[in-house]
Structure 1
Amino acid sequence: MKSLLKHRLAWPVIALAALLLLNQIFRPDFLGLRMQDGHLYGSLIDIMRNGAPTILIALGMTLVIATRGIDLSVGAVVAIAGAASCAYIAASPDPGSPVTAATAVLIAVVAGLALGVWNGFLVSTIGVQPIIATLVLMTAGRGVAQLITGGQIISVSNDHYKSIGAGYLFTLPISILITAAVFALAAVLTRRTALGTLIEAVGINPVASRLAGLRARNIIWIVYIFSAVCAAIAGLMISSNVTAADANNAGLYIEMDAILAVVIGGTSLAGGRYTLVGTVVGAFIIQTLTTTVYTLGIPPEVTLVFKALVVITVCLLQAPKARNLLNRLKAAPKPAAKEAAKEKVAI
């Protein structure tokens, strides 16, 4: 049991289980699943579907953080991707066709790819600090999205495009399947090839990696491109779910949720070792927290405080110093034991 609690995923999993149990207590049907019109429904499905964009962005953020970087621009990339795709559909002569939807998806992904190349260029080639390089796009990106939409909310009507965020396939929401596919791809590339080891090496010691002949610059480009593409796909999910592009609110503060999910999942902000599974668990905690707020009827004005308290608790339980303190408190002899020990010494 003690060895399990020492695992870095132990406390995030316990926190997630506790939140699910709390919701089950207040809503007895919370964990129930039902089939309706050939689709699977339930609160757990809603959590996974609503949390899919955060999971996608958090996966990309995990690899960026593993290289001692940070990507604050993902929210802006979400807005740009949604704006570009919806603007194309709205301006298309045949806005309802599947070809138009496919082209809009391609435009969004290419936009994410280009923005990832830009971030990677600033960080790896120019040498700009990651937080500054991505802050530039975080600030300017929403302006670009507003230029694309003309400062208006662009509504579209395309069932094929809508299915990305609100459609179903094999009884499950398509957004969940897309997220699962991206997770599987990232897991295979980072855990079944040398890429994961190279990312960890760059994060642990960039100088030593460069002296060892590792092309750290290429690795940094890869992770920032992957992060931006994940954000672009998340932007497609968000905009297609509401069939509209809102440059002001789409992906707003989602970078904060992604970073929290990565940290809660056990990945260190200092770089090096990371865990994709932990990131997914962390994202589920963030989304389940939002659901718990509605379940418990917590007033909106204290929602962020409630979420902050839970996040701080989980992070403290994972901190090595906090764990060592708890272990010392557990190992400390009780007063009665101290008195017995003194008596033995006296005898």
Structure 2
Amino acid sequence: MKDKSLVRRITGHRLFMPLVCLAIVLLANLLRQPDFFKITVKDGTLYGYVIDVINRGSELVILAVGMTLVVSSSAGTDISVGAIMAVAAAICCFILSGGQVSVNEYANPYVLGVVIALVLGAICGAWNGFLVAKLRIQPMVATLILFTAGRGIAQLITNGQITYIRVPEYKVLGGSISGLPLPVPFFVSLAVVILAYILLKRTSLGLYIEAVGINPKASRLVGIKSSLIIFLTYAFCGLCAGIAGLVASSRIYSADANNVGLNMELDAILAVALGGNSLGGGKFFLMGSVIGAYTIQALTTTLYAMGVSADQIPVYKAIVVVIIVSLQSEELRKWFKKKFATKKVVESEVA
């Protein structure tokens, strides 16, 4: 009986299915590439397929953190985060280049470009929050505005050109530093996750977000300002998108308004869903979203390694995601249990 109880507790844990899904994707990689988990060390830095997944998934982890809070508080999604990434990258490169197409040294202090990019990202998120919380516009419709206009704004900032920052220090945020075991983007995403965890678990903010997501009217009756909570989650999501945009820009040492953050809003939403979070709002699980983000990145890395072209990847990814989400569906589990119970009853009657 104790063994059954232990199994129930393990399989009933919210992290169980996200971890199982991640394990399945990693196992598929191992079967395809026997040395998938092989890690080498060079100049104190780790290299390997797994390290590449951790590195490349950093931006998605950052976006998933912000998206989790948005989904929990408003029962909606922010589909503009990819465009906000492009805007943040554009304004940062524009300031650092002084409006030039390509520079070999900063025209303005690096800190100034980063701060303004993050502030602009938060402002974009605050705009979405204002539309959703104050004007009560449906989240997908509200964020569709920046989803459509965001890349155009980024193009206006950079005058429709790709702005290159050919300064070695600019590549650090999206690259590696000798002596650090893992790439810098991983530590940036880790810092965002830790910051979010502290804000949500060490203060009442996490409880407020869940309460508003479950029942905003009841939350107002007990003194919680529902509109303010929703507004803050969207602003924080915009800030996360700004951070992810800076990392993505640093990887390519430029601002490419057409490609930075392209389609990443969809992966962020999928990461939240794969993490076992309900898209209907309410209770959330931050670590589940992080695991979901790495699952998506591992899947993407696998498809690229298999030689699947970039335009075909969404098709294969959609098929796998449908299977994974179905495995986590409570209704599907109930259906299987009901069918299994019916089969056992029939077998016992026959016996």
TM-score, reference length from structure 2? 0.92
Rounded to whole Å, the distance in 1 between the matches of 2:184 and 2:235 is 23
Kindly report which structure 2 residues correspond to 1:163-178, keeping only aligned pairs within 5 A, or say none: 163-168=172-177, 170-178=180-188
Of 132, 137, 141, 1:128 maps to 137
| Cα shift at 1:2 | 3.7
Q: Distance in 2 between matches of 1:2 and 1:328?
A: 18
Partner Cα distance (1:89, 1:61) in 2: 29
Residues 27, 295 of structure 1: 8 Å contact kept: no
> What does 1:53-132 correspond to in 2, within 5 Å?
53-67=59-73, 68-91=75-98, 96=105, 100-132=109-141
Question: Which residue does the alignment assign to 1:344?
Answer: none
Q: CA deviation at 1:70?
A: 1.8
Residues 167-176 or 37-46, more deviating: 167-176
The 3 A distance-change label for structure 1 pair 149 and 260 is same
Amino acid at match of 1:133: A
Aligned to 1:145: 154
| 1:157 is aligned to 2:166 | yes
1:343 corresponds in structure 2 to: none
CA distance in 2, matches of 1:295, 1:73: 29
Structure 1 residue corresponding to 2:348, chosen from 316, 324, 337: 337
Farther-moved stretch of structure 1 (171-180 vs 91-100) = 91-100
Matched, 1:7 2:13: yes
Percent identical: 44
- After superposition, give the CA deviation of every residue in 1:174-207 in whole Å (9 maximum; x if it has no partner): 1100100110111111122111000000000011
Which residue does the alignment assign to 2:45?
39
Distance in 1 (CA, whole Å) between partners of 2:156 and 2:77 is 26
What CA distance in whole angstroms lies between the structure 2 residues aligned with 1:294 and 1:36? 24
- Give the counterpart of 1:268 among 268, 275, 278: 278
| Equivalent residue for 1:218, pick from 224, 228, 235 | 228
> How far apart in 2 are the matches of 1:314 and 1:26?
19
* Whole-angstrom CA distance in 2 between matches of 1:337 and 1:8: 34
Q: Which moved more, 1:228-237 or 1:100-109?
A: 100-109
Write the letter of the residue equivalent to 2:277.
Answer: T
* Alpha-carbon offset, residue 9 of structure 1: 2.5
Q: Match of 2:161, SS?
A: coil
Match of 2:300 in 1: 290
Q: Aligned partners of 1:298 and 1:156: how far apart in 2?
A: 31
* Cα offset, 1:264, TM superposition: 0.8
Work out whether residues 96 and 159 of structure 1, in 8 Å CA contact, stay in contact via their aligned partners in 2: no
**Matched positions, count:** 340
Whose radius of gyration is greater, 1 or 2? 1
The structural deviation recorded for 1:98 is: 11
Q: Distance in 1 between matches of 2:171 and 2:308?
A: 32
Instruction: Please give the per-residue CA displacement for 1:1-21, whole angstroms capped at 9, x wherever unaligned.
Output: 243223332222111111111
- Post-superposition Cα deviations, 1:96-115, rounded to whole Å, max 9, x if no partner, equal 35972222111211111221
Are 2:125 and 2:235, in contact at CA under 8 Å, matched by a contact in 1?
Answer: yes
Moved more, 51-60 or 12-21: 12-21
Q: Quick check: 1:98–1:160 contact (8 Å CA) kept in 2? A: no
Q: Could you say if the C-alpha distance between residues 250 and 198 of structure 1 is closer, same or farther in structure 2, counting changes exceeding 3 Å?
A: same
Asked if 1:326 is matched to 2:336, the reply is yes
Alpha-carbon offset, residue 301 of structure 1 = 5.6
CA shift, 1:260, in A, is 0.4
8 A contact 1:11–1:314 mirrored in 2: no
Residue identity matched to 2:313: T
**How many angstroms does 1:215 deviate by?**
0.9
Partner Cα distance (1:112, 1:300) in 2: 28
Partner secondary structure for residue 109 of structure 2: helix
User: Which deviates more, 276-285 or 115-124?
Assistant: 115-124
Instruction: Tell me the CA shift for residue 328 of structure 1.
Output: 1.9
Which of 194, 201, 212 is residue 202 of structure 1 equivalent to? 212
CA distance in 2, matches of 1:299, 1:150: 30
Mapping of 1:238-317 within 5 angstroms? 238-298=248-308, 302-317=312-327
CA RMSD of aligned residues (A): 1.9
Partner of 2:29: 23
Q: Could you say what secondary structure the match of 1:332 adopts?
A: helix
CA distance in 2, matches of 1:76, 1:336: 57
